[in-house]
């Protein structure tokens, strides 16, 4: 119970601070720390993401930072993609899912290290410039 809450707090904290989703923290934490099976960890991560994203999206919407047309157009195809991807995930063994997730972590981690210049870093540069 306490460990679960702590993982949630860290996931929320990091996603708030660094703009990465909570899934990247929650899925490995569940499998490596809590011993949750990979498929279940991914399913739980998605469930937690829904309310978190609703809160985030409505905050941004009120501030006028949601492009509704793009959201609907991309959203339609992303739903199709989500159904496809989640269906494939159900058919794969957990080893494959872990391999895929591990590669995804390597990609994301190297982006955060700045090995490949990311969008977010450019934004950070701009904000520090305006701040100074």
Which residues between 68 and 127 bind other proteins (CB under 8 A)? 68, 70-71, 73-90, 93-106, 108-114, 118-121, 123-124
Are 66 and 60 in contact, with CB atoms under 8 Å apart? Answer: yes
Q: How far is the CB of 1 from other proteins (least distance, A)?
A: 6
Is 57 a binding residue for other proteins by CB under 8 A? The answer is: yes
Q: How far is the CB of 6 from other proteins (least distance, A)?
A: 7
Q: How far apart are CA 105 and CA 87, in angstroms?
A: 21
* Number of chain positions touching other proteins (CB under 8 A): 104
Q: How far is the CB of 132 from other proteins (least distance, A)?
A: 14
Per-position b or e across 12-30, b if 16+ CB within 10 A of its CB: eeebeeeebbbbbbbbbbb
């Amino acid at each position: 119970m306490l460990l679960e809450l702590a993982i949630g707090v860290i996931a929320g904290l990091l996603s708030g601070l660094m703009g990465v989703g909570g899934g990247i923290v929650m899925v490995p934490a569940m499998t490596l720390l809590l011993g949750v099976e990979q498929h279940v960890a991914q399913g739980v991560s998605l469930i937690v993401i829904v309310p978190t994203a609703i809160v985030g999206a409505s905050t941004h919407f009120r501030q006028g930072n949601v492009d509704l047309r793009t959201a609907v157009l991309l959203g339609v195809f992303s739903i199709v993609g989500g159904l496809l991807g989640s269906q494939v995930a159900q058919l794969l063994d957990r080893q494959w899912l872990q391999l895929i997730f591990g590669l995804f972590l390597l990609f994301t981690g190297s982006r955060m290290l700045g090995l490949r210049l990311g969008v977010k870093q450019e934004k950070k540069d701009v904000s520090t410039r305006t701040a100074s």
